Amino acid sequence: MKHNEKIIILDFGSQYTQLIVRKVRELGVYAEVYPFSIDQKTFDALLVDTKGVILSGGPSSVYAEDAPIPSVNLFNLQVPLLGICYGLQLIAHKNGGIVDKAAKREFGRASITIEDSNDLFRGIGLNSEVWMSHGDHLTKIPEDFDIIAYSHNSPICAIRSTKKQIWGVQFHPETHHSIDGKAILGNFLFTICKCEGNWSMGSFVEHSVNEIKQKVGDNGVICALSGGVDSTVAAVLLHKAIGNKLHCIHIDTGLMRKDESATIVKLFKEHFDISIDLIDAKELFYSRLNGVSDPETKRKIIGKTFIDLFEVEAKKFEDARFLAQGTLYPDVIESVSVKGPSATIKSHHNVGGLPEKMNLKLIEPFRELFKDEVRNVGTLLGIPEWFVERHPFPGPGLAIRIPGEITTEKILILQEADAIYIEEIKKAGLYKEIWQAFAVLLPVKTVGVMGDERTYQYVCALRAVTSTDGMTADWYPMPYDVLSTISNRICNEVVGINRVVYDISSKPPSTIEWE
């Protein structure tokens, strides 16, 4: 999608890079992430509509042999440049300054003293609390640069060259721990880069509808409708753009939550007035997944089976030339290691599972958006709040919530346990506080006792996290009385489970899903 103004962020492997994107977008300016290794031709093309460039932080030292050093010309741009942490050190290193290992590493909150509040620190007081995360620091600034802030441990905490239109800060303004961080980023965007701040979900919807109309023309679009928030909002957006040229297809993989497929079909026909075809493909998915234990292999099989089925169904619609999916920005980032030196975490069924050649062209209207942004789009499109606020459900479904081999018995057990879990957190009024909650059936059996009989049954793990976009997440402190009720119900009502445990891992180091 073309944007009238945008900010380009070059990623050097910081855990906070996605926070920079989010904060910039929240301020009303569109932002995108690209790897530090971007080539000059691509970078030059991006600069046409770009108002400024931000260099992210990163774990490396600029003076190390394997340090991520861009090959593009960053220091004679026609737009302002802001370096954050490693980005600041790169600016100094490449412009004649000196970066050394700090005698005392600085991680966590720190107080900075501001010496110049003309631009980047406009409206900020003399002192501000910020978030530091670095082991190196500047010991000499480059020529034509000034020091505009310092801290007790970093005498050179922020620098500026008005001549070169370059700014750099040692701290992370993108984190919520930096009290004035949003204001500092706002100063870069509006005072320095002269952005207008016209990015919004409303403008996104308008641009998307026009772009979809232009791209699709008189052709038809098949929408891969899982019934989750992403694909549902995508379907409603597509329907707004192309009307009955949209053909929604829901595949019952046999890996859905209890009664999910029937509920989805009823909802779309009665509430959205959008036609939907239900394909019962349980046996096909089960047969292809038979004996498969590796999580990546499961995801790939499920992704390929989805596409295979959609291509078959597409032949029933002579006008169909496109396949729509609800792929999100974090899906793309986690699936493909193109965002700087970040590692591939896992493939997503609607990214990593695609075959190299397809008979249908892809439409992914949310490929640039985060989950909460998609929810905002859904609200703007009139989708009921109770549906828009549904927890995320992965495309591979329960297949990645049953570590190891999948069987029909395991699926039925997990469906029952999961239904009880969701029902109880809704009863307790906790559903909206939690970003995602689900049950996992572990490939472990333990000894139990029910009545006077010994049992040897599966362990069920419960997972609940808080998050905004799924890139990071904290485990939810579920009240003990709610956990007790859930555990009692699952053990008493679900034949096949005799033990319930609660997952208290955050992301990182864990992922939200177990596979």
Residue type (1 letter), 250: H
The helix/strand count (H/E) of the chain reads as 14, 18
Q: For tokens 């204001």, what's the residue?
A: 183
Q: What is the chain's length?
A: 515
H-helix segments, 369-479:
371-380, 385-388, 408-427
Assess whether 193 carries a catalytic annotation.
no
- Cα distance between residue 78 and residue 430, in whole Å: 50
Assess whether 134 carries a catalytic annotation.
no
Q: Determine which one of 3, 5, 85, 349 is catalytic.
A: 85
Q: Determine which one of 106, 174, 368, 424 is catalytic.
A: 174
Short-list 439, 444, 484, CA closest to 463: 439
In the Cβ-directed half-sphere of 252, how many Cα atoms lie within 13 Å? 17
Residue 479 tokens read as 């009240």
H-helix segments, 327-471:
329-335, 371-380, 385-388, 408-427
Q: For tokens 């996605």, what's the residue?
A: 18
Residue type (1 letter), 119: D
- Cα distance between residue 141 and residue 150, in whole Å: 13
Torsions phi, psi of 330, nearest 5? -60, -30
Assess whether 85 carries a catalytic annotation.
yes
Torsions phi, psi of 285, nearest 5? -65, -45
Short-list 103, 116, 397, CA closest to 260: 397
The kind and range of the H/E element at 85 are: none
At 206, is the secondary structure helix, strand, or coil? helix
Q: Is the omega angle on the peptide bond into residue 295 within 30 degrees of 0, that is, cis?
A: no
- Cα distance between residue 287 and residue 22, in whole Å: 42
Q: Determine which one of 3, 93, 134, 172 is catalytic.
A: 172
At 495, is the secondary structure helix, strand, or coil? coil
Instruction: Evaluate whether 46 touches 17 at the Cβ level (below 8 Å).
Output: no
Looking at the annotation, which residues are catalytic?
Answer: 85, 172, 174
